[in-house]
Amino acid sequence: MPLTFVFMKNISLLIIGLFLFLLFSFCQGEKEQFLPTIHDPIEYELDISKVKYFEPYSHNIFISGDSIFVQKIRIKNKNKFPIVIQKMEFFPSSPKPSYFSHSLHKKQKIKANETFEFSVTFKVNELKKTSDYSTGFKVRYEYENHKNIKSYIKFNVFKTANILIENNGEIDFGMIDGTKLLSKKIKIKNMGSTNLIIDTSSLFSCIDVEKLNLKGGETMSVICNYNPIYDRTDFEYAYSIPFKNYYQTNNIIIKGKIKRKDKIEPLIQFEIDSFNFDTIKQSEARFNKDFVFTNTSDYPIIIYRASTGDGGTFASFPKKPIFPGEKGTITFHASMKSRRGKFSKNIHVKYRTGTTCSNAYLHYVIKTKGYILPETKSE
């Protein structure tokens, strides 16, 4: 009997020990999973001589995934009198965080020429709506000797996708001749546990993704296409991979250098790019004129704008892409019955290709002129 009791006691102790070990390991894992991210301190200098009414200080904070972040804030009083921190509050219409704490005391006083530092610990909720990727808070303050001057520091907190991008998201094409469409592939990895869904409505047309749903821990390839026809020397552009329910930040940068120095040839060819209306009677000075062009390039062309500078005139243009070899029309509309004498109007056409990582545009100018003949009333 005693031997059985001792055996059972040892077994019980072993089971309890194993349970405690597993519990400790689980807690350690949870602790490592939710280690806070500490952001670099944000510093503000408050000087009443530089106050602009109703224009508060503002700062953007970006946090990735569901991590807890700690943000240190330093406020330096540059005045000869104290500043009083009134309170901290959330934006009324923003989603509330699942965890929030701070070391700021109510009615905190910052003496003249002193610096006060406090920290904010923050965790964003799991977002349920596309619009709920951001929140924020305000730190309200007033000048002790000028209580009629009140303002606040605004902190906008944006939740971004927790992704790892190859080569820190940088694509360097190096030295190129500027004559061919270039493509490069880069890999991104979902470092979080939540599935990332590509927002196709916000995806740049020059970027191709391997899949639209990137699961936790998965990696996919992203292809960036660049057409150098717009740029003449160095170039650098920033783009984002947009995910639903996450704030978009520029996470891919393409750059390089172009060695060519020749003139950039237009990608569209007009049948005529100037027109003289000659003499038009004032009573008939409401007219239209079509200017037909052909896409002579190897890429789809998108007309971004066709402007005339107003003055009783405007231009209409195709809204859909014009594919290689296809024709399009820019129509000049004029209503100048109130004008007399000579007139000259230029139509400035701004266009680009539809598949390029470039923010630059090419221009084409169509010139028109004529003479409005004044009419006198017959007696």
Handedness of CA 186, 191, 193, 196 (dihedral sign): negative
What number of other Cβ atoms are within 10 A of residue 91's Cβ?
16
pLDDT of residue 32: 38
Looking at residue 27, its pLDDT comes to 47
Answer yes or no: are the C-beta atoms of 125 and 98 closer than 8 Å. Answer: yes
**pLDDT < 50 positions in the chain:** 1, 5-7, 24-34, 53-54, 127-131, 379
The H or E element that residue 17 is part of is helix 2-33
Q: Which of the following CATH numbers is that of domain 37-160: 2.60.40.10, 1.10.1040.10, 3.40.309.10, 1.10.3720.10?
A: 2.60.40.10
For residue 306, how many other CB atoms are within 10 A of its CB? 21
- Residue carrying structure tokens 């991979």: 241
Q: What does each C-alpha distance from 178 to 77, 181, 191, 302 come to in angstroms?
A: 53, 8, 36, 20
Nearest partner of 262 among 185, 202, 179, 322, judged by Cα: 179
Contacts with 208 (C-beta within 8 Å, 6 or more apart), sequence order: 222, 223, 225
The closest of 359, 357, 286, 291 to 327, measured between CA atoms, is 291
Residue 76 CB burial class (10 angstroms; 0-12, 13-18, ≥19): middle
CATH 2.60.40.10 maps onto the chain at: 37-160, 163-258, 268-372
- Does 3.20.110.20 match the CATH number of domain 163-258? no
Nearest to 72 by CA among 121, 129, 141, 34: 121
Point out which residues pair with 156 in neighbouring strands: 60, 136
- CATH label, 268-372, candidates 2.60.40.10, 2.40.10.10, 2.60.120.20, 1.10.238.10: 2.60.40.10
Structure tokens at 166: 């190859």
Q: Compute CA distances 334 → 248, 315, 347, 354, whole Å.
A: 42, 9, 12, 30
8 A C-beta contact, residue 245 and residue 126:
no
Alpha carbon distances (Å) from 318 to 204, 298, 302: 21, 19, 8
Q: Distance between alpha carbon 201 and the CA centroid of its chain, in Å?
A: 14
Task: Give the 3-state secondary structure of residue 246.
Answer: coil
